[in-house]
Amino acid sequence: MKRLLFVGIALTLTATAWAQNRTQTPQTPPAAQSRTQGNVVTQSGSADIEFILKAAEGGMAEVELGRVASERAQSDEVKKFGRRMVDDHGKGGEELQKIAQSRGIKLPSDLEAKDKALRDRLAKLNGKTFDRTYMRNMVSDHKMDVAEFKREANSGRDPEVKAWAAKMLPTLEDHLKDAQSANKAATTGAAN
């Protein structure tokens, strides 16, 4: 009888400890698997963190591709657009870096493979071929950027990230208009 009582108490204590552990340690749902960025682990289920990482990657690519455009473009309009990408996305990236640091998020330090491939492809082009290829990519990229920044500005949960997206949105919309104009000039042969 004492033995049965001892087993019952042991099972009760084990179950209680297990239940306390379950309430103290939240389980990560499969959809929110951890994503490692350098030394920092973030939850990929957090839309704001994903937005920060993607915006940083995209901004870094815009700066790098803008540098290539300012050197290789034939059209003054395309060169000017490239310089604006370096300036605007460089400034926006610095602001985003501060936001990320305050949250312990390490931003990527290198271009994604697709952006490296585009940069390498553009570096081999020149003249009107460069202008058309670069501007076509800028139109496509900025359409996606505008949609993503609108989504974050309207639906983000982190007030500072949401405010940054809203602040950057008019600039990105201007970039899209300028890219469409320069792309039209480059594709019709009006680019000089």
User: Residue 187's pLDDT is what?
Assistant: 86
User: Residue 188's pLDDT is what?
Assistant: 84
User: Residue 41's pLDDT is what?
Assistant: 37
Nearest by Cα to 59 from 181, 155, 177, 172:
172
Residue 115 burial (CB count, 10 A): 19
**Domains located in the chain, CATH noted:** 44-184 (1.20.1260.10)
User: Residue 46's pLDDT is what?
Assistant: 85
User: Residue 191's pLDDT is what?
Assistant: 40
User: Residue 44's pLDDT is what?
Assistant: 33
User: Residue 189's pLDDT is what?
Assistant: 65
User: Residue 23's pLDDT is what?
Assistant: 39
User: DSSP letters of the chain?
Assistant: -HHHHHHHHHHHHHHHHHHHHHHHSPPPPGGG-EEEETTEEEETT-HHHHHHHHHHHHHHHHHHHHHHHHHHBSSHHHHHHHHHHHHHHHHHHHHHHHHHHHTTPPPP-S--HHHHHHHHHHHT--HHHHHHHHHHHHHHHHHHHHHHHHHHHHH-SSHHHHHHHHHHHHHHHHHHHHHHHHHHHHHTT---
pLDDT digits (tens, 9 = 90+) for 34-52: 343 443 434 333 899 999 9
Cα R_g (the chain), whole angstroms? 25
Per-residue CA distances from 142 to 61, 75, 146, 150 (Å): 12, 20, 6, 12
Q: At what angle do helices 127-155 and 76-102 cross, to 10 degrees?
A: 30
Contact 186, 135 (CB under 8 A): yes
In tens digits, the chain (192 residues) has pLDDT values of 544 434 444 444 444 444 444 433 333 333 333 343 443 434 333 899 999 999 999 999 999 999 999 999 999 999 999 999 999 999 999 999 999 999 999 999 999 999 999 999 999 998 999 999 999 999 999 999 999 999 999 999 999 999 999 999 999 999 999 999 999 988 886 444
